[in-house]
């Protein structure tokens, strides 16, 4: 099924300026990507395949347009527990730059130390890590503090109506 997938490159905007793009996976006939991915049993292989495809597409865009752009790629934190994934992705990342791996907050993992070590190895190659959708559902602040994220993307539900919802302001001020 991954061979039929495509990516929508959504601009990432900061202070009114486009600073890169997020590669959003699209699969024909699948309306809810999160649900689809939750049923994938081999997330390390899936994530590796997605990352490889995004990097190849970015290279093609670079050759065609004559410019590169920072790209964010969603992945499962479970892949960071896989030696296969870390080894294969590390090889893919040689001569790459401006890559951010986005991890959704609702993913579970078994070994904090394994995830931290894998993140450190991949970060040593110049990759950044982002925690995506912080505040969506149940937030685990220990998860946020224990891992070395370069950025935290706050879920829209936490900031919706923030000017009138003082509870949301209090939550954001504690982080």
pLDDT of res. 42: 93
Which residue in 54, 49, 60 sits closest to 22, CA to CA? 54
CB atoms within 10 A of CB 140: 13
Q: Could you report the per-residue pLDDT of 22-45, keeping only the tens digit for each?
A: 999 999 999 898 888 888 989 999
Average pLDDT (80-90) is 96
Confidence band, pLDDT 50/70/90 cuts, at residue 171: low
Q: Could you report the per-residue pLDDT of 88-126, keeping only the tens digit for each?
A: 999 999 989 999 999 876 667 778 889 999 999 999 999
Per-residue pLDDT at 157 exceeds 80: no
CB atoms within 10 A of CB 122: 20
pLDDT of res. 93: 95
The dihedral sign for the CA sequence 81, 82, 88, 91? positive
Per-residue pLDDT at 3 exceeds 60: yes
pLDDT of res. 62: 85
Length of the chain: 175
- Average pLDDT of the chain, as a whole number: 84
Average pLDDT (146-175) is 68
Per-residue pLDDT at 134 exceeds 90: no
Token couple for 20: 């890169």
pLDDT of res. 43: 93
* Helices 43-65/83-92 angle, 10° precision: 10
pLDDT of res. 26: 94
| Whole-angstrom distance, CA of residue 133 vs CA of residue 154 | 5
């Amino acid at each position: 099924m991954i061979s039929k997938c495509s990516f929508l490159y959504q601009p990432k905007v900061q202070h009114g300026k486009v600073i890169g793009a997020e590669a959003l996976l699209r699969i024909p006939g699948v309306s809810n990507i999160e649900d689809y991915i939750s049923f994938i049993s081999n997330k390390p292989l899936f994530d590796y395949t997605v990352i490889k495809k995004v990097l190849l597409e970015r290279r093609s865009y670079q050759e065609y347009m004559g410019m590169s752009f920072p790209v964010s790629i969603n992945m499962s934190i479970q892949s960071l527990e896989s030696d296969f994934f870390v080894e294969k992705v590390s090889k893919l990342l040689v001569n790459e730059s401006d890559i951010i791996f986005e991890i959704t907050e609702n993913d579970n993992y078994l070994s904090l130390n394994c995830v931290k070590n894998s993140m450190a190895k991949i970060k040593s190659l110049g990759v950044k890590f982002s925690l995506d959708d912080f505040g969506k559902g149940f937030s685990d602040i220990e998860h946020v503090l224990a891992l070395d994220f370069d950025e935290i993307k706050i879920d829209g539900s936490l900031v919706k109506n923030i000017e009138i919802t003082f509870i949301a302001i209090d939550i954001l001020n504690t982080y």
